[in-house]
Each structure stands twice: as C-alpha cells, then as structure tokens.
Amino acid sequence: MRVFWVLIFILIFLVSCMKDPKAPIWIDPVDTLLLNHQNLHFKTENLDWKAFLRTEIQPISIPWTYSHGILSLSLKDISGIVEGPADFSFIYKDKSYDYSFYLKNPSGIKLIHRDYRSPKDLNPDSNLEQQKIVHQIDIYRNLKELPNKDSLFEETWIQLKPKVATYRAIANLPLSSFYVQAGSAVNIPVQSKYNPIKEGYDIQIGPLKDRIGNLVSDGTLLSLDYGDGLFSYHLETTILEGYAHAFIFAKRKNKFTLQVKVNETASEIIRLNP
C-alpha cells in the first residue's frame, strides 16, 4: 500500500512539473497576408502541432514542415477564401497560440457581376418602375469595388418598357429573371353565334388587352353571367392567348342576356337570340 501511495505522489509530482510548450515565434510577420504567395515560418520546438487558418467563416487545416527549429507553413494549396481578419492557430494538446493578420486573395481572381432587381414582377396596372442594384463579387464571394466607381454598390431606378415578357438582368442567368406581366383587361369584346347543330350559342370573347395593348394573361378567369328571366346562370372560363370560348346550351332556342366580366371590368350586355 505504501508503494502505491509513493507511486501516486511521483505521478502527481511529474505532472505538476510538466512545462507548457513555448509559443512559436513568427519570424516574418505581416499585417496583410496574400494567399498563394507567401509561406510562413515560425521558430518553435519540434512538437506535434496542429496548425489552422481561421477565417471569418471556417477553420482550414494547414500542412507544415519542420526543419532546424523552423516550422514552415505552406498556403499554396489554398486557392481562394472569404477575405477579412484571420488568425493562425497552433494547437498542442489543450494549449493554443493565435497570430492575427488580414487575409487577402491574390489578384486576378475572376469577378462576377451582380444585378438585383426589385420588384421582380411588374405590370402596367400599377407602375413599371424598378430598382436596380449593381455590385461585383469574386468567385469566393468577396464584395469588390465597381470598376471606375468609388463604391461597392450602385443603385438606379429604371422605367421598364410595358411589353409583356420575361427579361434577364444578367444574360444567361435565369435566376436573375424579372417579369413584366399583362395588366387588367380594359374592355371585353364578345361575339356570339347560334349553332343550330349543337343547339346553343358559341361565344367568343377577345382579344382581351390591357391599357398598353398586351394580351391579358393566360388563365385569367372570365365570368359569364347570363339569364333568361327565370334562372341566372354562371359560367366560368379562362383566357388562352387573349381569347376565350364558351358554349351556352339553348336546346329550346332560349333567349338570354349575357354579360362577361373579368373582375370589375364588364362587357356590354349582349342579347343572345337564335
């Protein structure tokens, strides 16, 4: 038992006498570090360090070599990164040493033009004014100054043409699409003809156009309300390419009065007579 306590004491003594590893000394410190261009050197004991590059968004493990008391870190394999304040962290067991600097990508990285539009859906019923915000980022999502401008963003308000279409703010990028849609129909032309074979009235409605002259959107609901003095009838149909067709049964050659409506826009009252 005595031997056991002696061993325990020695163990505690040894543990308490263990020194913390010395902090590595950065031999060639810089304030701004360009990726891919520089190697870093630290003077330190040859310990089993773990080295990390901590950026704003993620830690990256860095390979290192050790020779003659110098620890060399290579950043060659890191092609690009989100720029900003960063740290080197050396970790050995539960000890950690950090070295701060500003991290930048090397020059010559491809830039991407961004053009945000708001709102994306417009129609001539309200207005066609659109906010346009332009900026640039590199492929690693770093915001870059606009060429020939002293700013990161440029905001302009543009008046769109009233022609219905799908446009792209950036060519070849469907995600940047915005849409000029048709407005509401301003009048509803209705034509009817009695069809003796089918015993009813063929109704043609259209072309339905907005105030600019665009054909109103496909799928727009048309309500056909007609009556024969006894019953009120309600028929719904939808527009396809500016026109809609409906058929009103009149087996007994009934006479009707018909009005077609799109929301609050109504056609003239039509008298259906065989």
Q: Which is nearer to another protein, 134 or 235 (CB)?
A: 235
| Alpha carbon distance 93, 70 (integer Å) | 20
Beta bridge partners of 165: 180
Contact (CB, 8 A) for 221 and 262? yes
Give the CA dihedral 47, 50, 51, 57, nearest 10 degrees: -160
Tell me the closest approach of the beta carbon of residue 104 to another protein, in angstroms.
24
Contact track, another protein, 215-234, x by CB under 8 A: -xxxxxx---x-x--xxxxx
| Alpha carbon distance 258, 235 (integer Å) | 11
Query: Rule CB under 8 A: which of 236-255 touch another protein?
Result: 236, 238-240, 245, 249
Tell me the closest approach of the beta carbon of residue 255 to another protein, in angstroms.
15
Tell me the closest approach of the beta carbon of residue 57 to another protein, in angstroms.
12
| Alpha carbon distance 103, 266 (integer Å) | 66
Query: Does 28 interact with another protein (rule: CB under 8 A)?
Result: no
Query: Does 264 interact with another protein (rule: CB under 8 A)?
Result: yes
Query: Rule CB under 8 A: which of 34-53 touch another protein?
Result: none
In this structure, what are the phi and psi dihedrals at residue 151, rounded to the nearest 5 degrees?
Answer: -150, 165
Binding residues for another protein, rule: CB under 8 A, are 116, 119-121, 123, 125, 174-176, 181-182, 184, 216-221, 225, 227, 230-236, 238-240, 245, 249, 262-264
